[in-house]
Amino acid sequence: MIDLDNKVALITGSSDGIGAATAILFSSLGAKVAIVGRNQNKLDKVAAECEAKSPHNYKPVVIRADFVNDEDVVRTFEETISAYKHLDILVNNAGQSNNKDFLDADALSDYDRTQQINVRSVVRLTQLAAPYLIKAKGSVVNVSSIASLKAYPSMWSYGMAKSAVDMFTKTMASRLAPNVRVNSVVPGPVRTNFVASLNLDPKAFWDGMVEQQPLQRVADPIDLANMIAFLSCDASRNTTGSIFVTDSGALVADPMKASSSNQ
Ligand code: NDP
């Protein structure tokens, strides 16, 4: 049973996509949430939905921050603690893919930015949150990517970053035990605005993705939110240092089949 009533959760990257779905689900289950993103309009919309869904009418703490900057990462944590004085759950979800080819002259600055957003902010926030999570016997869920397990050459530095996140999950699960559990969720394709930065035709992209998946679907953000909620609460109390793939079967697709629909 998923019980998050009155738990305090900081969910990064929650102005959109997986993070927004997670914040709204957590709110509907009675949690007090802090939501974070760069776009104020999107944050305000998610905050209104969280409040509407909360059985206690809790208003989220809303934090506008860009995780390219260390100061914004620290401020995100400070504003959360200043409001709630407590933390049970940290969901490190904010992430961005790089889009510079490895041979591009500017590839290294793109690499630095990708590591900053996907890895450094996760490490810093977890470090700041750890004393509070230890006290609360809390939980960390890191949102990784299938690109940590399978090579996607066009997202090379993003894949490296997410592999680092998964190893961070394992090492922190050991370092912070027995008080804090740390797990990774590894999405395959999820229907969000994530691909907007990749300069692709969204319809063609998603149609192609559905076609390739053994389950003949791609995830909706709520599919990931459900797994994050499970890993954040006592229902998963025996689990730490684990990497949970939810990918429409992408990793088990049969390379011998032109299309997985030919059964
Ligand atoms: P979205 O683009 O829908 O949402 C990304 C969220 O992260 C937004 O809230 C965005 O804020 C925030 N964000 C992005 N960059 C920054 C930044 N520099 N500073 C602070 N916040 C930032 O993507 P998803 O929901 O799909 O992605 C969520 C996580 O899931 C990411 O870690 C991603 O790597 C991972 N993932 C997604 C997959 C997919 O197919 N969608 C597949 C595998 C992994 P704002 O919009 O306000 O700028």
Is 53 one of the catalytic residues?
A: no
Is 144 one of the catalytic residues?
A: yes
**Backbone dihedral angles phi then psi of residue 262, each to the nearest 5 degrees:** -80, 90
> What class is the 8-195+220-250 domain?
alpha beta
- Of the residues 27, 144, 184, 232, only one is catalytic, namely 144
> H/E/C letters for each residue in 20-46?
HHHHHHHHHCCCEEEEEECCHHHHHHH
pLDDT above 60 (res 201): yes
- Of the residues 15, 97, 145, 248, only one is catalytic, namely 145
Residue 21 CA to ligand 1 centre (angstroms) = 12
d(CA 250, CA 256): 14
d(CA 59, CA 263): 49
Which of 110-124, 160-174, 199-213, 214-228 bottoms out in mean pLDDT, i.e. has the lowest? 199-213
Q: Which atom of ligand 1 is nearest to the CA of 143?
A: 32
Is 148 one of the catalytic residues?
A: no
Token pair for 50: 């969280």
Model pLDDT, residue 183: 99
**Structural element, H or E, at residue 122:** helix 121-136
Residue 13 CA to ligand 1 centre (angstroms) = 6
Q: Which atom of ligand 1 is nearest to the CA of 95?
A: 32
Which of 96, 120, 185 to mutate for ligand 1's pocket (most ligand atoms within 8 Å of CB)? 96
**Backbone dihedral angles phi then psi of residue 23, each to the nearest 5 degrees:** -60, -40
Q: What is the DSSP string of 149-189?
A: TS--GGGHHHHHHHHHHHHHHHHHHHHTTTT-EEEEEEES-
Is 145 one of the catalytic residues?
A: yes
CA distances to 21, 103, 124, 213, 263 from 192, in Å: 11, 28, 26, 17, 29
Residue 94 CA to ligand 1 centre (angstroms) = 5
pLDDT per residue over 133-171, tens digit each? 999 999 999 999 999 999 999 999 999 999 999 999 999
Which of 46, 93, 186, 205 to mutate for ligand 1's pocket (most ligand atoms within 8 Å of CB)? 93
* Confidence label for 258 from pLDDT (cuts 50, 70 and 90): low
Q: What is the average per-residue pLDDT within 84-103?
A: 94
| One-letter amino acid of 50 | C
* Confidence label for 260 from pLDDT (cuts 50, 70 and 90): very low
ipTM over 0.90: yes
In 3-state terms, what secondary structure has residue 96?
A: coil
Domain range list for the chain: 8-195+220-250
Average confidence score pLDDT of the chain: 95
Which of 106-110, 163-167, 219-223, 233-237 bottoms out in mean pLDDT, i.e. has the lowest? 106-110
Token pair for 62: 């809303």
Model pLDDT, residue 127: 98
Model pLDDT, residue 259: 52
> Looking up tokens 């909360």, which residue turns up?
54
d(CA 218, CA 29): 25
Ligand 1 near 67 CB (within 6 A) = yes
